[in-house]
Amino acid sequence: MVSYQPQPPGAASPPPPLELPHYGIGFVDAVKRGFKKYATFTGRASRGEYWWWTLFTFLTYTVLGLVTYAVGIATSQDGGRTPGLLALPLIILFAVFALGIIVPTLALTVRRLHDGGYSGWLALLLLIPYVGGLIIMIFAILPSSPAGAKYDPIPASSPAYAAPYPPQNPYNA
């Protein structure tokens, strides 16, 4: 099995294939990788992939929210109780981003759970208010586990994986 671990600074190595986790990934690469694997619920994701993506979504929500709030208050006709007309495109952009980011965030959460060796079905804990998000956050903080390798893709062309056990003939005993 191939392992992609962080390389020392200055060692130029190509990034791992999309099917494998990328340990030591940077912010921009993690965001690109998150969008490339938009709805991929199989495989694994490193802690860096998960937390850089989380930072990206948090910053985007914060910036869009603050700009929308400021424009809404500044253009309001009734002193700030309802947003002004110029805030409408920003509200739509905020809603489109929020809806568009649900699937990749959920897929990345499932892949992060896989990297820890846990079932992706644990992501359903997010449906439990407050406590579910806290539990998933704890799972996301935990380091990668060797047990997570069971979620890696098995290359079909590799002869090493073709027959893990020799054929058994019960009559040759």
Question: Which domain, by its residues, includes 145?
Answer: 102-152
Mean pLDDT over all residues of the chain?
86
Asked if pLDDT for residue 101 goes beyond 70, the answer is yes
Q: What pLDDT score does 4 carry?
A: 52
Examine the domain organization and report whether 116 and 96 are in the same domain.
no
Asked if pLDDT for residue 43 goes beyond 50, the answer is yes
Examine the domain organization and report whether 52 and 96 are in the same domain.
yes
Per the structure, the count of domains in the chain is 2
Q: What pLDDT score does 14 carry?
A: 83
Q: Does 134 reside within a domain?
A: yes
- What are the structure tokens assigned to 147, written together? 């047990």
Average pLDDT value for residue range 7-27: 80
Q: Does 23 reside within a domain?
A: no
pTM, to two decimals: 0.79
